[in-house]
Structure 1
Amino acid sequence: MDETLIDETNYAGEMRGKVLPALARCRSEGWMEPAEADGLAPVPSPGKLHYLCYDAAEFRAAQGNAGARSCGTVVIVHGFSEFAAKYSEMIWYFLCQGYSICMLEHRGHGYSPRDIDDPALVWIDGYRRYIADLAQFVTTIGKQSADGRPLYLYSHSMGGGIGAIMVERYPALFDKAVLSSPMIAPQTGMPTWLARPLMSLMCGIGQGKHVVFGQGGFPAEFSIEGEEAMSEARAHWYYDRRAEDVHYHSNSATYGWVREALRMSREALRPSACERIETPTLLCQAGKDIWVLNEAQNRFVRQVQDAGGNLRMVRFADSAHNMFCMPNRALGPYLNTLFSFLGDSTR
């Protein structure tokens, strides 16, 4: 992968001059009705969910490499407060390897509908809505893109928690799955046994849509504090994209979102759910993660493996939570691990 890595010393120039124009030539945009499923209440506010697709054949043709083989389709599932455009560089790498991409923006993120007025806050009425929306997206748009070829999952952080439940509930849906820094359990700053009743209490007294204590609005200035291991060029690029578009200002959790994140964690870690995983799965763990609990990832891995599931964990000891935002010296090994797993026909 080293020959295709974006040059950090000219990161913005390469993104504007090479990556974004190439993505624009093979991108299509769509809108999906929210899922209706048993146990889901009507959506709190109307509106269709936003998604983007990137066609590998069109990408290769534009690059003058129309004869290269197609490897299938990867469904990217983004994390908390993220948006599709944050994954532009990762989408570039997937396309370079021959994978088409489909990516849904979760409710409350990007250009998808929001159920709260403050664009900096993230709230969801129930985590099962994330699961139902993604399942509908994968079985329609994702399957259509794959067109009989392999269908893969690449999920990060909150998206990794959603992805874990997807492979538990739908063991035959994906050919392979990657959970990158997955939110098997969120880092709340307090023991989970205390956080659960506290979040329920705050929601019960009408504070569900209020920002969690200690968090705030969209930051007025760029800062990499707390995740200094990341590539500053990449982190600054993503901040600038967020700053220029209010749809990307999602930044802070509400009490209602944390309550649902903890409920999602409980489902993902249920032993009977872990036993259902059949999809060959790679879990990438960041050694310097400050946003999710590595102990919960370890427990998840043990439970799946003890049940005979095909799950492998690779720990990147020096990596921050956003492994795809690391400097090239760390990003290269991460991508090599990822593409080696996806391309290994024995797994």
Structure 2
Amino acid sequence: MINDPKQWLLKRPSDDHPEWALWADRELQSFWEQVQEASFTAADEVKLHYAFYQHPKSRGWVVISPGRIECYIKYKELMLEVAAQGYSVATIDHRGQGFSERISDHPQHGHVEHFDDFVRDFADFMLELKALIGEQPCYLLAHSMGGAIGSLYMASYPHPFRAAALSAPMMGVHTQPVPATIVNSFVRLGHWLNAKLAGNRPRYVTGMQDYSDCTFEANELTHSQARYQWFRALYLDNPQVQVGGPTWQWLMQSMEAMEELPRVAPVIKTPLLILQAEQDRIVKPEPQKDFMRLLTHPLSRLQQVRGSYHEILMESDNIREPAIRSIFDFFEQN
């Protein structure tokens, strides 16, 4: 039986090879059988799930904070790559998504009562991992919404992270062709009307709906057909992890969290690597640049990932691999 994660990774073909899907079904799944799945209860009694791999010769820990609607099973390949570098790795399912408990009566609502709940959950998650991590070096790897959560966590709590890499962090969202000021006013009005008419009962933002599969050709997340189809198949095979569009409350809370990020940036004393997706159609680049200018650690930097859609960590090999190398190099340097 293979115990060295490098051996599973060495068998991986390129993502444009017809055997990639077979590798994911066999070798990647074999690695996943070594991963442990667990849960803990948040301060408000919400049950949160997570997965972790404890490397037998661990040189440190990488903790992953995923994006909106994401589940830790989507991070199988990345967790294997982290393990192949000699790290132990853990990934949380944020409240209201993945295998974690839902906050709304409708299980597909992308909902949260307060964005700070995400941040507090992450702080509790780090306490949950404390005995496993011990005195080992620890690093944060966060994507999109997870980047906003991780940034607010580092600004608000004592933490063990020596460095953090933020992949396409959610610091401002695309609203084109409508100006952001008009969209913000619309969100505030919609949130107010929902509170008045629905008694604050969670409801989808106008035009949003339950989880629906999108063809690869129409997707704006990744150029990798193999990884995209693999992730969509995972969600079809595990319908309990599916999440649809955001509610008014989620959108309002996220908008306020994004407004808070520039104010807390100078407080973060940890070196940050911000990976900016050049062709991102989900989050805007300008707020990421503004956030970067406010950071105080001299080793913090912003790196544009050429040709990438929003999901840098799920991109085609030619786009993704240099970004992954940059992340591990950044961790090594810190």
Give TM-score, length-normalised by structure 2: 0.89
Cα distance, 1:205 vs structure 2 = 2.1
Q: CA deviation at 1:48?
A: 1.2
Equivalent residue, structure 2, for 1:199: 187
5+ residue gaps, structure 1? 36-42, 58-68
Residue 170 of structure 1: CA displacement? 3.3
Compared with structure 1, are the counterparts of its residues 3 and 119 closer, same or farther at alpha carbon in structure 2 (3 Å cutoff)? Answer: same
Q: Is the 8 A contact 2:49 2:92 kept in 1?
A: yes
2:302 corresponds to 1:313: yes
Residue identity matched to 2:21: A
Opposite residue 182 of structure 1, the aligned amino acid is: P
Structure 1 residue 224: deviation in Å? 4.1
1:61 alignment partner in structure 2: none
Q: CA deviation at 1:186?
A: 2.6
Residue 7 (str. 1) matches residue 14 (str. 2)? yes
Partners of 1:316 and 1:90 in 2: CA distance = 17
For the 8 Å contact 2:271–2:297, the answer to whether it is kept is no
Residue 186 and residue 221 in structure 1: after superposition, are their counterparts in 2 closer, same or farther (change >3 A)? closer
Counterpart of 1:176 (choices 163, 176, 180) is 163
More off after superposition, 108-117 vs 88-97: 108-117
Q: Distance between the aligned counterparts of 2:25 and 2:164, measured in 1?
A: 30
Cα distance between partner residues in 2 of 1:16 and 1:308: 42
Q: 1:191 to 1:166 in 2, by over 3 A?
A: farther
Residue equivalent to 2:149? 162
- Equivalent residue, structure 2, for 1:51: 50
Report the counterpart of residue 87 of structure 1 in structure 2.
75
State how 1:1-347 maps to structure 2 within 5 Å.
6-8=13-15, 9=17, 10-25=19-34, 27-35=35-43, 43=44, 47-57=46-56, 69-141=57-129, 143-170=130-157, 172-189=159-176, 190-206=178-194, 209-220=202-213, 222-227=215-220, 230-270=223-263, 273-304=264-295, 307-308=296-297, 310-344=299-333, 347=334
Q: After superposition, what is the alpha-carbon deviation per residue over 1:224-244, rounded to whole angstroms, capped at 9, x for unaligned?
A: 414275200100000011112
Please say if residues 277 and 309 of structure 1, whose CA atoms lie closer than 8 Å, have aligned partners that are also in contact. no
The whole-number CA distance in structure 1 between the counterparts of 2:62 and 2:168 is 17
Preserved CA contact (<8 Å) 2:12 2:23? no
Query: SS state of the match for residue 257, structure 2?
Result: helix
SS in 1 for 2:62: strand
**How far apart, in 2, do the equivalents of 1:220 and 1:290 lie?**
18
Structure 1's 200 and 309: CA in aligned 2 closer, same or farther, altered over 3 A? farther
How many pairs does the alignment contain?
Answer: 319
1:24 maps to amino acid? E
The offset of 1:47, in angstroms, is 3.9
Quote the Cα distance in structure 2 between the aligned partners of 1:100 and 1:331: 21
Give the share of equivalent positions with the same residue, in percent.
Answer: 26
What amino acid sits opposite 2:171 in the alignment? I
Contact 2:143 2:169 in 1 (8 A): yes
Asked whether the equivalents of residues 221 and 311 of structure 2 are also in contact (C-alpha less than 8 Å), the reply is no
How much has 1:291 moved relative to structure 2? 0.9
Q: d(CA) in 2 for partners of 1:301 and 1:172?
A: 20
Deviation at 1:3, TM superposition (A): 5.5
The residue number in structure 2 matching 1:40 is none
Paired with 1:14 and 1:226, the residues of 2 have a C-alpha distance of 23
| Contact 1:210-1:254 within 8 A present in 2 as well | yes
Q: 1:221 to 1:229 in 2, by over 3 A?
A: closer
Change (3 A) 1:252 1:51: same
Q: Is the 8 A contact 2:39 2:48 kept in 1?
A: yes
Is the 8 Å Cα contact of residues 186 and 292 (structure 1) preserved in structure 2? yes
> Once the 2 structures are TM-superposed, how far is the Cα of residue 325 of structure 1 from its aligned partner?
1.2
Name the CA distance, whole Å, in 1 between partners of 2:179 and 2:42.
34
Query: Shift of the alpha carbon at 1:117?
Result: 3.3
Contact 2:222 2:311 in 1 (8 A): no
